[in-house]
């Protein structure tokens, strides 16, 4: 689904019968998932459903979870937690960038004065433990 001329992953291009065939689900199952709020396909001006590549990936994930014995309420909660984790990771990346920029600014403005050096030393120290998706913030004491 990439390359010149290919639709974006969010482009709603698949009709329900094609989406059902590509995911191995029955069209009625797709309608049920939509009624339950698990998926929100695009709509044509006439009201027909159109699914994107991302929708198909989500449908496959839902099918995988349900086939492993997880109920639809559990699937809903898992999907909500996945969304929350993605949002938190994005926010964490923003905060890391802001901290790096603040440190850089303080270092560029620093001079031999102890107050400036002390301000740099009071910033939290970021260390990345294993596995790489977690983050620990250490704060120096005594400043």
Q: What percent of the chain has pLDDT over 90?
A: 58
Q: Residue 57 belongs to a domain with what CATH number?
A: 1.10.1660.10
Does residue 62 lie in a domain region? yes
Alpha-carbon separation of residue 58 from 10, 12, 34, 69 (angstroms) = 12, 13, 12, 17
64 and 96 together in one domain? no
- Are the beta carbons of 28 and 22 closer than 8 angstroms? no
Q: What mean pLDDT do residues 55-60 have?
A: 96
Confidence of residue 143 (pLDDT cuts 50, 70, 90): very low
Domain that holds residue 120: 90-138
Does residue 21 lie in a domain region? yes
Q: What is the pLDDT of residue 131?
A: 57
Comparing 100 with 6, which gets the higher pLDDT?
Answer: 100
Q: In the predicted model, what is the mean pLDDT of the chain?
A: 83
Does residue 6 lie in a domain region? no
User: From CA 75, how far away is CA 61, in angstroms rounded?
Assistant: 9
Comparing 53 with 4, which gets the higher pLDDT?
Answer: 53
Comparing 103 with 80, which gets the higher pLDDT?
Answer: 80
User: From CA 136, how far away is CA 25, in angstroms rounded?
Assistant: 42
- Are the beta carbons of 75 and 62 closer than 8 angstroms? yes
Does residue 49 lie in a domain region? yes
Does residue 10 lie in a domain region? no
28 and 59 together in one domain? yes
99 and 128 together in one domain? yes
Q: What mean pLDDT do residues 98-113 have?
A: 78
Number of structural domains the chain divides into: 2
Does residue 59 lie in a domain region? yes
Does residue 102 lie in a domain region? yes
Does residue 101 lie in a domain region? yes
């Amino acid at each position: 689904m990439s390359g010149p001329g290919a639709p974006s992953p969010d482009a709603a291009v698949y009709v329900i019968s094609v989406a059902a065939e590509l995911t191995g689900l029955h069209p009625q199952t797709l309608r049920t998932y939509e009624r339950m709020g698990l998926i929100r396909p695009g709509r044509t001006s006439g009201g027909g459903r159109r699914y994107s590549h991302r929708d198909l990936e989500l449908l496959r994930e839902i099918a995988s979870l349900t086939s492993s014995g997880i109920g639809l309420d559990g699937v809903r909660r898992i999907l909500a937690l996945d969304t929350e984790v993605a949002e938190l990771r994005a926010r964490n990346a923003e905060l890391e960038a802001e901290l790096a920029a603040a440190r850089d600014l303080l270092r560029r403005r620093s001079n031999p004065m102890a107050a400036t050096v002390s301000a740099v030393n009071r910033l939290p120290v970021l260390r990345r433990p294993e596995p790489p998706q977690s983050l620990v913030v250490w704060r120096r004491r005594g400043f």
